[in-house]
Amino acid sequence: MKIFQKKKLILTEWDNSIQSTRNFNKAIEELRKENIPFVIIEKRIITDYAKKLYFTYSIILDSILLITILLALFNADKILKLIGG
């Protein structure tokens, strides 16, 4: 048993046009005819946008947090004077 096996994957994109659907069906027929194993995976584009939106949101919030911490450190002497009386 090999621990590190190599497998090859062919990834193509298909749109919803009539020509693309015909080509997709032809490719599936050819794969079945040649008895080549395949898996069809559908991916929604919205998840890519959601990931980018979440990443941007995270960067913005991290930046705000970092700026707040830096401002607090620069003004630590003033804050300590207020607390100490």
Q: Which helix (H) or strand (E) element contains residue 81?
A: helix 76-84
| Residues 51, 28 share a domain | no
Q: Based on the structure, what is the number of domains in the chain?
A: 2
- Residue 14 tokens read as 């298909």
| Residues 84, 51 share a domain | yes
| Residues 54, 80 share a domain | yes
16-65 confidence digits (pLDDT tens)? 889 988 998 999 999 999 999 888 888 777 888 889 999 999 999 999 99
| Residues 71, 50 share a domain | yes
Structure pTM?
0.46
| Residues 29, 64 share a domain | no
Domain interval for residue 52: 45-85
Average pLDDT over residues 11-19: 84
In a domain, 5, yes or no: no
Cα 69 from Cα 73, distance rounded (Å): 6
Label residue 35 left, alpha or beta by phi (over 0 means left) and psi (-120 to 50 means alpha).
left
Tell me the one-letter amino acid at 39.
Answer: V
| Residues 83, 58 share a domain | yes
In a domain, 58, yes or no: yes
| Residues 49, 19 share a domain | no
